[in-house]
């Protein structure tokens, strides 16, 4: 009898805890929605100019993705890092107002890498469209006001083609010691003026032909050590034109060190016939 009462009491307490947890989750979700809706880029149309304020881009999360290589003995090397860039969204009404004057419909994202002693190089560009349904590759990420890109070692790039095997075609064997997200030394810019045909037409040949099936992917080379900067500009896919200068994200990703790992058994590995061309054509982001 006592055990029965005790079990009933424990079950009631368990259900009560679950109900409280669901309530907390619901309250948190509602608060997140309200905050997201209340914080937008502000559009000023004074003096026949379009000026966006409260413009903020920053690194939200960096994840290292590993790749187990080797047959006889194995090692988990670094395959790539995925970087999410959070931003204050643009309201639908602001986009409509902008489109009455300019056909802006996208963010143009530029990825740069700085290595001390070697200078800065541009890893490439990619587009993120304002409209969620316009490019299915980006649907998941626009639901959360994020731009997500992948930066891969040369030995793994493109990952859908190379990272499926237990061996690396190029003998890739490096692992990073971690990543840091640091504030940029350059002063933050929270306003941007939209210009008509700013800088003229953009050469879309500079777009990275990503190997990623979902994420835009950039090749960092044989070493990932360096500082990674992310710049965003406003762009029109209709007339292939930039309508603003690039804005540098307020934070950067730093990879300070990497090490060489050893594995064995790949000396005579028989890679399948490379038929990735058709897959690439299916999943590339832009011509």
Which residues, 6 or more positions from 235, have their beta carbon under 8 angstroms from its beta carbon?
Answer: 104, 105, 106, 107, 108, 127, 202, 241, 242, 243
Looking at residues 106-121, what average pLDDT do you find?
93
How would residue 201 be classed by pLDDT, with cut points 50, 70 and 90? low
Write out the two tokens for 151. Answer: 């930066």
Q: What is the pLDDT of residue 31?
A: 42
Q: How far apart are CA 212 and CA 243, in angstroms?
A: 27
Q: How many CB atoms lie within 10 A of CB 283?
A: 16
Mean pLDDT of the chain, nearest integer: 77
Q: How far apart are CA 219 and CA 154, in angstroms?
A: 6
Q: What is the pLDDT of residue 269?
A: 92
Write out the two tokens for 54. Answer: 């409260």
Q: How many CB atoms lie within 10 A of CB 271?
A: 11
How would residue 79 be classed by pLDDT, with cut points 50, 70 and 90? very high
Q: What is the pLDDT of residue 189?
A: 75
* Beta carbons of 126 and 138 less than 8 angstroms apart: no
Write out the two tokens for 181. Answer: 């997200």
The C-alpha angle 190, 196, 199, rounded to 5 degrees, equals: 80
- Most confidently predicted of 61-70, 83-92, 129-138: 61-70
Q: What is the pLDDT of residue 30?
A: 44
- pLDDT at 64 exceeding the cut of 60: yes
Q: Which residues partner with 218 through β-bridges?
A: 151
Q: End-to-end distance of the chain based on CA atoms, in angstroms?
A: 74
Write out pLDDT tens, residues 218-271. 999 999 999 999 999 888 888 888 888 888 999 999 999 999 999 999 999 998
| Helix/strand/coil for 195 | coil
Domains of the chain, residue spans: 42-283
Looking at residues 11-34, what average pLDDT do you find?
43
Q: How far apart are CA 96 and CA 102, in angstroms?
A: 10
Q: In 34-43, which positions are buried (b, 16+ CB within 10 angstroms) versus exposed (e)?
A: eeeeeebbbb
Number of helices (H) and strands (E), helices first, in the chain?
Answer: 5, 16
Closest to 253 measured CA to CA, from 81, 109, 86: 81
């Amino acid at each position: 009898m006592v055990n029965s009462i005790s079990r009933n009491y424990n079950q009631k307490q368990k259900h009560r805890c679950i109900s409280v947890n669901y309530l907390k989750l619901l309250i948190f979700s509602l608060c997140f929605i309200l905050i997201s809706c209340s914080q937008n880029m502000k559009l000023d149309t004074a003096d026949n100019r379009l000026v966006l304020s409260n413009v903020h881009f920053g690194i939200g999360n960096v994840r290292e993705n590993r790749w187990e290589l080797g047959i006889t003995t194995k090692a988990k090397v670094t395959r790539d890092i995925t970087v999410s860039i959070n931003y204050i969204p643009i309201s639908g009404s602001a986009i409509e107002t902008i489109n009455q004057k300019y056909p802006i419909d996208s963010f143009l994202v530029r990825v740069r890498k700085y290595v001390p002693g070697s200078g800065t190089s541009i890893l490439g560009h990619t587009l993120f469209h304002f409209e969620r349904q316009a490019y299915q590759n980006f649907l998941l990420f626009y639901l959360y006001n994020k731009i997500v890109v992948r930066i891969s070692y040369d030995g793994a790039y493109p990952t859908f083609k190379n990272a499926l095997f237990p061996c690396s075609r190029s003998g890739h064997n490096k692992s990073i010691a971690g990543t840091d997200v640091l504030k940029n030394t350059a002063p933050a810019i929270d306003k941007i003026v939209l210009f008509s045909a700013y800088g003229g037409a953009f050469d879309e040949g500079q777009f990275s032909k990503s190997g990623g099936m979902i994420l835009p992917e950039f090749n960092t080379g044989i070493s990932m050590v360096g500082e990674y900067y992310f710049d965003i500009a406003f762009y029109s896919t209709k007339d292939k034109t930039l309508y603003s200068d690039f804005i540098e994200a307020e934070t950067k990703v730093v990879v300070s060190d990497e090490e060489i790992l050893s594995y064995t058994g790949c000396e005579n590995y028989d890679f399948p016939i490379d038929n990735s061309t058709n897959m690439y054509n299916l999943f590339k982001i832009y011509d």
